[in-house]
Amino acid sequence: MLRFCYAQRRSFRRNNMEDTVLTLSVDAAGAAAQPSYLEGHKPVSSETLLARILDSLAEDKAEDIVDIDLRGKTAIGDYMVIASGRSTRQVAALAEKLTDRLKQEFGRLSKIEGKNTGDWILVDTGDIIIHLFRPEVREFYQLEKMWVPLGQQAKNA
């Protein structure tokens, strides 16, 4: 549930008048709600969604696709998928096609961050977080090392 609050703040400019600032207050329970679905689509399991995401990335020639099981490690999602594209254009196209397929097949609305630059794009489907990188950027951040325990390998798809 979103609520708008008017916050009063003193302005110490020339005329010392009060400004009214519109701020957005988000109800935490509502923000952590289930992922968004289009009307007429039923929720799917995260395993089904993961399988389709991996297939979609493989169909679009993504490289070094890795999936990491996050269940029991964090509340941000059930799985994380990390993949690379050869160029900024391919990385952006991977993200665009993936979100379109998830919308058409499952009615799942996804959020995209970083599409303008194309170096690192994050696609958030609710249950699964997808990181799409250019190879140089992926090597620099090394997300796999952060989420996979020592001595254990991430699963390559």
Q: How many CB atoms are closer than 10 A to CB 92? A: 20
The residue assigned the tokens 């799409």 is: 132
Which segment, 7-16, 31-40, 43-52, is predicted with the most confidence on average?
43-52
Residues 27, 98, single domain; the answer is: no
What number is the average pLDDT over the span 45-61?
94
Strands 128-133 and 79-84: parallel
What number is the average pLDDT over the span 111-117?
91
Whole-number mean pLDDT of the chain? 78
Instruction: Look at residue 121 in the predicted model and tell me its pLDDT.
Output: 96
Contacts for 87-92: CB closer than 8 Å, 24+ residues apart = 87/118, 87/134, 88/117, 88/118, 88/119, 88/134, 89/118, 90/61, 91/118, 91/119, 91/121, 91/132, 91/133, 91/134, 92/118, 92/121
Instruction: Beginning with the edge strand found earlier in the chain, give each strand of the sheet holding 120-124 in spatial order.
Output: 111-113, 120-124, 128-133, 79-84, 63-69, 155-156
Per the domain annotation, does 40 fall within a domain? no
- pLDDT tens-digit series, residues 74-107: 888 899 999 999 999 999 999 999 999 999 998 8
Per the domain annotation, does 84 fall within a domain? yes
Flag whether pLDDT at 37 surpasses 90: no
DSSP per residue, 104-132: HHH-B--EEESTTT-SEEEEE-SSEEEEE
Domain count, the chain: 2
Residues 66, 128, single domain; the answer is: yes
The residue range of the domain holding 27 is 2-31
- pLDDT tens-digit series, residues 116-153: 888 999 999 988 999 999 999 999 999 888 887 655 55
User: How far is Cα 78 from Cα 70, in angstroms, rounded to an integer?
Assistant: 5
- Give residues with Cβ within 8 angstroms of 152, minimum separation 6: none
Q: For residue 38, which phi and psi values (nearest 5 degrees)?
A: -75, 155
Rg (alpha carbons) of the chain, rounded to whole number:
20
Q: What is the pTM of this model?
A: 0.72
DSSP 37: B
Residues 72, 21, single domain; the answer is: no
Band the pLDDT of 65: cuts 50, 70, 90.
Answer: very high
Residues 18, 93, single domain; the answer is: no
